[in-house]
Amino acid sequence: MTDQLFETAVMFPGNLGPSELHRQIYDQYIEKGNDRNFAFGAVSSGENTVAFMRGQAQYLPDGARQIPEPRHGDKFNFSIRCICSLSSGGKKVFFRRDDNDGRDKWFHKRAGTSGFIVHKLHEVETVSVSIEDPKRNQKMPVTTFQGQLEINEPNAFMNMLASGIGRGRTWGFGFIILT
């Protein structure tokens, strides 16, 4: 399990795409090689983007709060933006826009290995997001899920909080926000 996981939120300009937000967060808070137990996600609203970050305290801004140990049976509402894909013949295969059942099954499977079960799942939207990095420029389908979860394996859940779910975690996807 991840030791002493902390969380904080930092405001960034709202016009940053996933690649630029990634660059700014990593340039300001993460040293090369020390990003193993670090995850971030972002919520944009108008002129601002709020980046939620989790990791070890020394890599986060002052004022980060320690995340309490999760307990079996704890329930939370959640929101998460995921890149849902499968591997087939060594290649990534993304779900078609109209394949809601496929994405839902994908998420339930990931939840099972991440220490929680999903009681209510609502797929809010699937949109194409441009990802730019030195190796590739591509559009990926990003799905926003919301719902209610219940923790059934606290250690696996804590590890998921530190590392995220699915592909695209480098750009802030797969980061679960608990409410």
Number of separate domains in the chain? 2
Per-residue pLDDT tens over the stretch 91-120: 888 888 889 999 999 999 999 999 999 998
Taking only the tens place, the pLDDT of each residue in 112-166 is 999 999 998 988 888 888 777 666 667 888 899 999 999 999 999 988 888 889 8
Are 143 and 56 in a shared domain? no
Last residue of a domain, one of 66, 97, 113: 66
- 62 burial via Cβ count (<10 Å: 0-12, 13-18, 19+): exposed
* pTM reported for the whole predicted model: 0.81
CATH number at residue 105: 3.30.70.1210
95 and 61 belong to one structural domain: no
The residues with which 130 forms a beta bridge, in sequence order, are: 139
Please tell me whether residues 113 and 171 are part of one structural domain.
Answer: yes
